[in-house]
Amino acid sequence: MSKKKILILGAGLAGLSAAWHLQKKGRDCQVFEQEPEAGGLCRSKKVNGFTFDYDGHLLHFRHRYAFNLVNKLLGCNLKPQQRNAWIYAFDTYVRYPFQAKLYGLPPSVIKECLIDFIHTSRNGHRKKKKNPDFLTWINQAFGQGIARHFMIPYNTKFWTLPPQKLTCEWLDGFIPVPSLSEVIEGSVEENKSQFGYNARFWYPRQGGINQLPLAFTRQIKHIHTDCRVREIDLTKKEIKINSGAKEKFDYLVSTIPLPEIPQLIEGLPRQVDTLFKELKWNSIFNLNLGIDKEENSGRHWIYFPQKELCFFRAGFFSNFSSCLAPSGRSSLYTEVAYSKARPIDKDNVVLRIKQDLKKTEILGKNDTVCVQDTNDIKYGYPIYDKNYSRIRKQILKFLSKNNIVPCGRYGSWRYLSMEDVILDGKRVAELIYNHA
Ligand SMILES: Cc1cc2nc3c(=O)[nH]c(=O)nc-3n(C[C@H](O)[C@H](O)[C@H](O)COP(=O)(O)OP(=O)(O)OC[C@H]3O[C@@H](n4cnc5c(N)ncnc54)[C@H](O)[C@@H]3O)c2cc1C
C-alpha cells in the first residue's frame, strides 16, 4: 500500500468526490475545509422554517456513472422532475428555450426571428466557421432575429461581457439548436416538447441540495472543517493551516479557486503570478426570499434578457420541493451577475431586485416577504475570453510540476456542473492512484 501523503483542499463536491473515490480505492487522504461545514456552493441554509440553497442548484445528468452514484448516495430522497422553465420578454412569459418557443411573442418579433432563422439555415448554418467567437456562433446557429431579441442581451447580461469577447469553448451542448421545422412549429403553437440537456432535472425530496454533500460526508473519514489553508510551501511540500498547524504532502488536490492561489504560495515566480492575474470571472449576487403566499404556477425558473431588469434569472425553490417552505408559503431566488467590467451597487441591489420582482409580477403588491437571505458569490463563472485557454494551460503546467492537482469548477477553472465536478473528483482520484 502506497504511503504517499494526499491532502485535499476544499470540501465542496469536487473535494468530497476526490476523497470518496480515493478512499474507495483504499487510499487515505485528509480534507481541509475553511468553512464550519462541507459542501461549498452546494450547501443549504435553514432560515425561519425556509430552506434556501446558495442560489438554485439542480442536478442534471449526462453520465450514467454520476447518476448511479448520486442515486446510491441519496436513495429515495432523489426525485426526477420535468423542467418548467420560462422567459420573460416583451412584457410576457414564453416557454424556454426562446429559439424553439417563439409562440406568444409579438407577431413582428416572431416574423423577424423566423425569417432570419430560415435565411441562416439556407446559408448552411451547420457549416460552422472554425473556432468562431460566441457572437459569430450565435448568428450562425440562430440568425440575427433570435440573436438580437434574446441571445445577445441575455448572454451579455449573464457573462457581463458582449458575446464577441467570448469563445465557444464552454458551450458543450449547453445551448440547444433546434431544427427549422422545430422553430416553425414552436412559433405557430404552444409547443411543450422539451429541448436541451436539462429538460429533466433531479433534486432532493427533502432538505435541499445540501443532502448530496451530507451523504458524501457521512462516508468520508478525515474531513477537517474550520481549517483554512493559508500557505502552500512548494519547497518543503507542506501546507500551513489557520491554526498554525502544518501538514506535509506528496500530492495536493486543490479545489481552491485558482485566483486565490498566488496569495497562498510564497515566492511565486513573477511570470506565473502575472498569469493568475489575467484570469477573469463573473460574480453572482443571490437574493433568496420567503413569501407569505403559495406559488401555484409550477414554474421552476425564468430567464430575463432585458438590461432594464437587474436579475438574469429567478427561480422557485418551493416548486422544486414543497418541503423547502412552510405550508401556505413559498420561496424564490434571484441571480444578478456582476464583474469588474459591469459592477453593481451593492447597497441598493436588494431594493432593486424587489422592485423588479414587482414589475414582472413575480411579487404582487400585497405579498409579504417574511424572510430574506443574501449570498454574494465571488466566483460565479470563469470567463472564457480569447486568453483563457493559453493562461489556464500554463497555470496548470506550473501546478502539476509542483504536485498540485487542480480539481473542480474553480480549482481547475472550468464551467462545470455538480455532475461534472463529481466526475472530476473521480478523475483526479484515479490519476493519483495510478501514480502514487
Ligand atoms: C450561481 C450558481 C448556480 C449554479 N447552479 C448549478 C445548478 O443548477 N446545477 C449544477 O449542476 N451546478 C450548478 N452550479 C455549479 C456548482 O455549484 C459547482 O459545479 C460545484 O458546486 C463546484 O464544486 P467545487 O467543489 O468545485 O467548488 P466549491 O463548491 O466552491 O468548493 C470549494 C471549497 O473550497 C473551500 N476553500 C476555498 N478556499 C479555501 C482555503 N484557503 N482553505 C480551505 N478551504 C478552502 C471553500 O470553502 C469550498 O467549500 C452553479 C454555480 C453557481 C455559481
Those residues with Cβ within 8 angstroms of residue 250's Cβ, 6 or more apart along the chain or in another chain: 4, 5, 6, 237, 403, 436
* C-alpha cell of residue 405: 492537482
Q: What is the pLDDT of residue 136?
A: 95
Beta-carbon neighbour count of residue 306 at 10 Å?
16
129 CA from centroid of ligand 1 (Å): 34
299 CA from centroid of ligand 1 (Å): 25
Residue 284 Cα: closest atom of ligand 1:
1
Residue in 418, 423, 424 to alter for ligand 1 test, most ligand atoms within 8 A of Cβ: 418
According to DSSP, the residues that pair with 247 across neighbouring strands are 239
CA–CA distances in Å: residue 373 to residues 158, 212, 286, 327, 353: 21, 21, 8, 19, 13
Q: Whose CA is nearest to atom 29 of ligand 1?
A: 40
Point out the residues of the chain with pLDDT beneath 50.
none
Taking phi over 0 as left and psi of -120 to 50 as alpha, with beta for the rest, 63 belongs to: beta
Q: Whose CA is nearest to atom 4 of ligand 1?
A: 57
Q: What is the pLDDT of residue 197?
A: 72
Those residues with Cβ within 8 angstroms of residue 244's Cβ, 6 or more apart along the chain or in another chain: none
6-9 and 251-254: which strand pairing? parallel
Q: How is 164-211 classified by DSSP, letter by letter?
A: GG--STT-TT-S----HHHHHHHHHS------STTSEEEEESSS-TTH
Q: Which residue has the cell 418557443?
A: 101
Q: What is the pLDDT of residue 1?
A: 60
Q: Whose CA is nearest to atom 34 of ligand 1?
A: 10
Residue 39 Cα: closest atom of ligand 1:
49
CA–CA distances in Å: residue 323 to residues 87, 103, 206, 227, 314: 26, 34, 6, 32, 19
366 CA from centroid of ligand 1 (Å): 36
Whether the CB-CB separation of 180 and 114 falls below 8 Å is answered with no
Residue 380 Cα: closest atom of ligand 1:
53
**Buried-exposed string 393-431: b where 16+ CB fall within 10 A, e elsewhere:** eebbebbeeebbbbbbbbbbbbebbbbbbbbbbbebbee
Taking phi over 0 as left and psi of -120 to 50 as alpha, with beta for the rest, 282 belongs to: beta
Q: Whose CA is nearest to atom 26 of ligand 1?
A: 408
Burial class (CB in 10 A: 0-12, 13-18, 19+), 214: buried
143 CA from centroid of ligand 1 (Å): 35
* C-alpha cell of residue 391: 493562461
Dump pLDDT digits (tens) for 198-211: 789 999 999 999 99
Q: Whose CA is nearest to atom 20 of ligand 1?
A: 418
40 CA from centroid of ligand 1 (Å): 5
Q: Who lines ligand 1 at CB under 6 A?
A: 9-15, 32-35, 40-42, 55-60, 228-229, 255-256, 260, 284, 335, 377, 380, 408-411, 416-419, 421
Dump pLDDT digits (tens) for 1-41: 667 999 999 999 999 999 999 999 999 999 999 999 999 99
269 CA from centroid of ligand 1 (Å): 28
Taking phi over 0 as left and psi of -120 to 50 as alpha, with beta for the rest, 92 belongs to: beta
Q: What is the pLDDT of residue 73?
A: 98
Q: What is the pLDDT of residue 126?
A: 55
Q: What is the pLDDT of residue 436?
A: 76
Q: Give dist(CA 239, CA 111) in Å, integer.
A: 61
Say what the pTM is: 0.96
251 CA from centroid of ligand 1 (Å): 21
184 CA from centroid of ligand 1 (Å): 39
Residue 412 Cα: closest atom of ligand 1:
26
- Domains of the chain listed by start with CATH number: 6-43+210-275+388-435 (3.50.50.60), 85-197 (no CATH)
Residue in 202, 255, 300, 336 to alter for ligand 1 test, most ligand atoms within 8 A of Cβ: 255
Residue in 21, 33, 41, 229 to alter for ligand 1 test, most ligand atoms within 8 A of Cβ: 41
Residue 420 Cα: closest atom of ligand 1:
19
